[in-house]
Chain A
Amino acid sequence: MTVKVIVKEDYQEMSCAAAHVVEKKITENPQAVLGLATGSTPLATYKEMVKGYKEGEFSYRNIQTLNLDEYVGLDKKHPQSYHRFMCEHLFDHIDIDLDNTHIPRGDAPDIEQECQRYEGLIDQIGPPDLQILGIGRNGHIGFNEPGTPFDSTTHVVTLTESTRKANARFFSSLEAVPTHSITMGICSILKSKQILLLASGEEKAPAIDRLLNGEVEEDFPASALKNHPDVTLIVDEKAYQKAVK
């Protein structure tokens, strides 16, 4: 399968296009299940979705959501938790029912059991009709770093030193940064009916190049998306430039 590619001028245009895809989906199916991601890439997409809601055009009242990942050890009130992130950037500003939003529980007493529960939940209410996804510079999707088996389901990941360092800014010290995360596996992500991959900025250019022109291999997790029948990549010019050369 080939990845459908939409090139937009910049980050803002990319985000508007992504929001339109979401809004089209929830209009067709007001009970749709959306797969959501955190990080800086989808921020403006969420902003656009909030704008669309505020202008009275779209409603999320009966939408369900499944998030990709969460830090192990952080409860949902922790300022750096992905629960907090989603509330702050999206859920607080739209009419979604919080009971319909699902994020792995980082503070579950038995984290292995939580992985099973969450994978079961994906099958039970999902899989997502539309999954929003970002891509790491090394091709990671969710917290699935290079080498993650393509048949992986929701699992616990030991964070690499570089990931922890990159996230240390908002914690009191490097020691306070969580050492593990819980993430949907690659197989779980591929269960989604449609995948919307977003990439913006020069730093993502090598990853987009490798995704579009490289091999499908576990060393580059995002390449698994090529095994999926319905993937759309929305990319800005800076992130796309290398891929066309």
Chain B
Amino acid sequence: MTQTLLIKNVTIIVENEKEITGSLWIEEGKIADISKEGFSDRTANRVIDGKGKNWSVIPGFIDVHIHGAAGHDTMDATQEALEGIATVLPEEGTTSFLATTMTQSEAAISKALANAADYIDHQVDGYRAEIIGIHLEGPFISKDKAGAQPLEHIIAPDLEQFNAWNETARQLIRLVTIAPEEPGALQLIEHLSKSDIVASIGHTNASFAEVAQAVEKGATHVTHLYNQMRGLHHREPGALGAALLHKELSVEIIVDFVHAHQEAVRLAYEAKGPEKMMLITDAMRAKCLAPGEYDLAGQQVTVEDNEARLADGTIAGSVLTLKQAVANLKETVHPSVYDLIQLTSANAAKELNVFDRKGSISTGKDADLVILDEDWDVAVTICKGTIAYEQEGR
């Protein structure tokens, strides 16, 4: 892309530096230059001027756990579904994500993986969030903690099956949710760890000791802390106790105040700190749809402001946006902007081995950026140097 973009009169949260007030120069979709003085000698194709607006530029959000949005789902296994998700996510500040599958038949998972791999191989730069890999959520999970994952397709962790799937996915599976107490789990975790794939503990009824074993084998991540995992009991601290205590483990958290109480979010933040926590949405296809009744994959779902429920009242998945998660986190723990970007971007980029190109503002990296207004709402989202989203009335 020859397009040049100048962002001026903004506060820039630069990697390893104090924030600076100045300008960003973006070229060929990359952050080319950062300056306090500005670039009065150059002319850009596009200019964003934050003068008088009190704007901060931070790295774009990375969502490592998202199934769908705007009527589309990764399991639809179509190019249009992934394109639909990728084009709507910049509205909430997301510039990269892991397309997340769910427990289904072997064939349905294979189809979704092959489709995602095709999409990733051909994805276009700009105007859409980049899919940086696949999160395989299920079927290697516990039937006791299935949640919305269909019981009949849950199977024991199986290294051979995993390898076959990752072959289908052209080695693009980057994160796998596993119940570590299930037979074969530790072997799979060890294999993942050696292959630089994130092994995540989730949908699990594991005891504290079983999680400790998984950590020894190389598990480093926890899928949606609190949800679908054995809770904390003072005589058996369970998967939750282990997740909170083990410094090796980074935890995902859904901060919509539906999946976890506000004070539970505070507790997790106190225990893990900003270095070991990631905001995720775990959103499904009803996200970004107007409130109303929908037929989603054969299920009647009612979408209200911040939740989607089946007719019997069961939560049908999250409709959380990352920008809402940021707002919720802000009122809960009042993080500094430096802490915030760890939870939204840097931790995920480091864990997925893409920190050389994403997850912070530094010259040479992808120009995946979010401009926050003074209330920390997303004013502008930039994907690979293109203005993918601008707040109404800007």
Whether A79 is near chain B, meaning CB under 8 Å from some CB there, is: yes
Q: Which listed residue (B45, B70, B128) contacts A172, Cβ 8 A?
A: B70
Is A170's CB under 8 angstroms from B84's CB?
A: yes
Cβ of A93 within 8 Å of any chain B Cβ, yes or no, is yes
Among B45, B83, B294, which residue has the most Cβ atoms of chain A within 10 A?
A: B45
Residue interface bits B1-32, CB-to-A below 8 A is 1, else 0:
11100000000000000000000000000000
Give CA–CA (A170, B81) in the complex, Å. Answer: 8
Shortest distance from the beta carbon of A96 to any chain B beta carbon, whole Å: 9
List the B side residues contacting A87 at CB < 8 Å.
127, 386
Q: How many residues of A contact B (CB 8 A)?
A: 19
Bound complex: CA of A176 vs CA of B288, how far in Å?
A: 11
Return chain A residues, CB-CB under 8 Å to B128. 79
Tally of contacts, chain A with chain B, CB under 8 A: 46
Contact A93 B2 (CB under 8 A): yes
CA distance A126 to B92 in the complex (A): 39
A172 touches B83 (CB 8 A): no
A172 to B89, CA, bound (A): 13
For window 109-130 of chain B, which residues contact chain A by CB distance below 8 Å? 126-128
Annotate A74-89 by CB proximity to B: 1 below 8 A, 0 otherwise: 0001011000100110
Decide yes or no whether A137 CB sits under 8 A from chain B: no
Q: Which A residue's beta carbon lies closest to that of B292?
A: A175
Interface residues of B in 336-394 (CB under 8 A from A): 386, 389-390
- A54 within 8 A of partner (CB): yes
Complex Cα distance, B288 from A82, in Å, reads: 21
Q: What is the interface residue range for chain B against chain A?
A: 20 to 34
A245 sits at the interface (CB 8 A): no
Contact at A79–B88, with CB atoms within 8 Å?
yes
Distance (whole angstroms) from the CB of A177 to the closest CB of chain B: 11
Report the minimum CB–CB distance from A71 to chain B (whole Å): 15
Check if A171 sits within 8 Å of B71, measured CB to CB: yes
A224 CB to closest chain B CB (Å) equals: 33
Q: How far is the CA of A88 from the CA of B383 in the complex (A)?
A: 12
Contacts of B270 in A (CB 8 A): none
User: B387 to chain A: closest CB distance in Å?
Assistant: 8
Query: Is A173 located at the chain interface by the 8 A CB criterion?
Result: yes
Mark out the residues of chain A between 68 and 120 whose CB falls within 8 Å of any chain B CB in the assembled complex: 77, 79-80, 84, 87-88, 92-95, 98
Residues of B contacting A98 in the complex (Cβ-Cβ under 8 angstroms): 46
| Given contacts A77-B390, A88-B127, A88-B386, A170 and B80 within 8 Å (CB-CB) | yes
B72 on the A face (CB < 8 A): yes
Contacts of A88 in B (CB 8 A): 126-127, 386
Task: Say whether B2 contacts A172, CB under 8 Å.
Answer: no
Q: Report if B87 contacts A (CB, 8 A).
A: yes
Contact B72 A172 (CB under 8 A): yes
Q: Are B390 and A173 in contact (CB under 8 A)?
A: no
| Residues in A neighbouring B1, C-beta threshold 8 A | 92-93
Task: Tell me the bound Cα distance from A87 to B2 in angstroms.
Answer: 13
**B72 adjacent to A79 (CB under 8 Å):** no
CB-based nearest B residue for A80: B87
**Is there contact, CB below 8 Å, between A170 and B2?**
no
Question: How far is A98 from B3 in the complex, measured between Cα atoms in Å?
Answer: 12
**Nearest residue in A to B388 (C-beta to C-beta)?**
A79
In A163-206, which residues have CB < 8 Å from any B CB? 169-173, 176
Q: Find chain B residues with CB under 8 A from A84 CB.
A: 127
Contacts of A35-94 to chain B: CB distance below 8 A: 53-54, 77, 79-80, 84, 87-88, 92-94
Candidate in A53, A98, A172 with the most chain B CB atoms within 10 angstroms? A172
CA distance A16 to B88 in the complex (A): 33
CB-defined contacts of A93 to chain B, threshold 8 Å: 1-3
**Least CB distance, A38 to chain B, in whole angstroms:** 15
Residue in B closest to A94 when the chains form the complex, CB atoms: B2
Q: Is B289 an interface residue (CB 8 A)?
A: yes
Given the interface contacts A54-B2, A77-B390, A92-B3, does A172 sit within 8 Å of B289 by beta carbon? yes
- Contact A170–B390 (Cβ < 8 Å): no
Decide: A79 near B127, CB < 8 A? Known: A172-B70, A176-B71. Answer: yes
Determine whether the beta carbon of A92 is less than 8 Å from that of B45. yes
Find out whether the CB atom of B127 lies under 8 angstroms from the CB atom of A172.
Answer: no
Contact in complex: B71, A172 (CB < 8 Å): yes
Closest CB-CB distance, A53 to chain B, in whole Å? 8
Q: What 10 pairs across the A-B complex have the smallest Cβ distances? A: A172-B71, A172-B70, A79-B87, A169-B80, A92-B3, A173-B71, A88-B127, A77-B390, A170-B84, A172-B289
Task: A77-B389, A98-B46, A172-B72 are known; give 15 further A-B pairs, CB within 8 A.
Answer: A77-B390, A87-B127, A92-B1, A92-B3, A92-B386, A93-B1, A93-B2, A170-B84, A171-B70, A171-B84, A172-B70, A172-B71, A172-B288, A172-B289, A176-B71
Show 11 residue pairs from A and B whose CB-CB distance is below 8 angstroms, ordered by the A residue: A53-B2, A77-B389, A77-B390, A79-B88, A88-B386, A93-B2, A170-B87, A171-B70, A172-B70, A172-B71, A172-B84
